[in-house]
Amino acid sequence: MQQVKGEKAAGLSKQLAQYSLELTYDSLPAEVVEFTKLCILDYFGSAIAGSEKVPVRMIAELAEEMGGAQQAHAVTGGKTSVLNAALVNGAASHVVELDDIHKGSIIHAATVVIPAALAIAEWKQLSGKELIAAVVAGYEVCFRIGEAVSPSHYYFWHNTATCGTFGSAAAAGKLLGLNEEQMVSALGNAGTQAAGLWEFIEDGAMTKQLHTAKASMNGVLAALLAQKGFTGPQKILEGDRGFFKAMSDAYDESRITDGLGEQNKIMENSFKIHASCRHTHHAVDLLTEIFKDRRPSIEDIESVSVESYQVALNITDDPDPQTEYAAKFSLQFCSALALLTGSAGLADFNEEVLWNEDIRALTKKVKVTTAPAIDASYPRQWGAAVEVVFKNGETIRKETDFPKGDPENAVTAEELRSKFIGMTFKYPAQKREELADAILQLETVPEIGQVMAAL
């Protein structure tokens, strides 16, 4: 989209609205279509795995109690209103901490944007192609807004929730066929609903799931109202009493407009392969490689050391984790697990593995330190080096600049399919494969409801 002077002067919401409405499936490069389907596959893996977790069950029960028209499927089962579906499906995909992440905007877009798009697409009997285009637009809108307000916004606010609300509205609004004026109102009324404070982290409260649930629902609500002619603020982002000034200490408007319509920022999205904290993934990647080569037992290993950046140690230096959740945030535990088992997936974190004698013994042996060179490249690179000394005197050293799943160290479609199959264990094997097939051929699906009904 070439910018002419008059367009540049237009409000940011108007430019985002124009971009969102002009984007078509046919204009997307093939690689963007392929990648977007992987984002959607990855959404479903996390959502299906999360659908039986306690906070998600509570939100699903509430939605059931409230009732609603049979418009769209919830991943927890059955059909409900599109608002309820966005609420439940928005809660579901974030809870197992395996959903996608965009480094530049610090947003997990899938869990907010995709439930909104799915709900409207199913309700309005739209196609896989229409869904794909809407997801690309929703990611673009929220990534740009997140980049514009990062990092200051992130101190108080959960970007995935606040900025995600705009992405939900853009995706839902595009599928509803809003005109430009309506889309500006939808973005305005999305932004005025944007909420989600980090305070819950202090207590480990369930609030994180409420944030993503509500962000998805609120964006859909803004779009549905806009379709009825409900007006909203025209300059919710840059206005004097708008989102930027109220909710960030510093912001960069150019991040909204530079290259808008020329890029597909969804391609910058990262996937998580391991079920642990992202700051452990570099070491897990490297130690898994060593496992594959050597399949060592505890008796073979003299010492293990991991070097990384300081932030990784701030968050994950824990030689003695006491819970399954804490184990995911222990660099020592995750390193031992990877070196002895070759994996750190969803099924690898449980009480049995947590107290396995060999893994415990090796966890105590893992030394973690900050390496100045690695630290200097953070956060552009989330790197690590590992060194394993074997009892036979041999030493293996490996280094990485990017954890697997970053665009610079991309996972293959096959790996993401394996992740999906591993995460959907609540279904029989054949159903998992069929579901993966259907999602990976989404552009051939005439009605999204066909995929949702198979859940």
**Residues in touch with a second copy (CB under 8 A):** 55, 58-59, 61-62, 65-69, 71, 81-84, 155-157, 185, 188-189, 191-203, 205-207, 210-211, 214, 218, 221, 224-225, 228-236, 239-243, 245-247
3-state SS string over 140-180? HHHHHHHHHHCCHHHHHECHHHHHHHHHHHHHHHHHHCCCH
Nearer to a second copy, 199 or 437 (CB): 199
Beta carbon nearer to a second copy, 5 or 241:
241
CB 38 within 8 A of CB 416: yes
CB nearer to a second copy: pick between 150 and 341: 150
Kindly state the smallest distance separating residue 19's Cβ from a second copy, in Å: 21
CB 253, min distance to a second copy, A: 15
Calculated CA dihedral for residues 411, 414, 415, 417, nearest 10 degrees:
120
Nearer to a second copy, 39 or 107 (CB): 107
- Report, in Å, the least distance between residue 57 CB and a second copy: 9
- For 407-433, give one letter per residue: b (16+ CB within 10 A) or e: eebbbeeeebbebbbbbbeeeeeeebe
Which of residues 185 and 269 has its CB atom nearest to a second copy in the complex? 185
309-312 — which CB contacts under 8 Å span 24+ positions? 309/370, 309/371, 309/374, 309/375, 309/377, 309/378, 309/382, 309/383, 310/370, 310/375, 310/378, 311/279, 311/378, 311/379, 312/279, 312/280, 312/282, 312/378, 312/382, 312/384
Nearer to a second copy among residue 36 and residue 209 (C-beta): 209
**Residue 309 CB, nearest distance to a second copy (Å)?**
23
Number of other CB atoms surrounding residue 339 within 10 Å:
27
Nearer to a second copy, 97 or 307 (CB): 97
CA 49/CA 44 separation, integer angstroms: 8
312 neighbors 383 (Cβ within 8 angstroms): no
> Cβ closer to a second copy: 162 or 400?
162
Q: How far is CA 165 from the centre of its chain?
A: 14
Q: Which token pair is 130?
A: 């229409």
Minimum Å distance from CB 80 to a second copy? Answer: 9
- Residue placing its CB nearer to a second copy in the complex, 83 or 256: 83
Q: Is the separation of the CB atoms in 74 and 217 below 8 Å?
A: no
How many residues comprise the chain? 455
What are 196's two structure tokens?
């989600």
- Minimum distance of a second copy from residue 122's CB (angstroms): 14
Least CB distance from residue 284 to a second copy, whole Å? 28
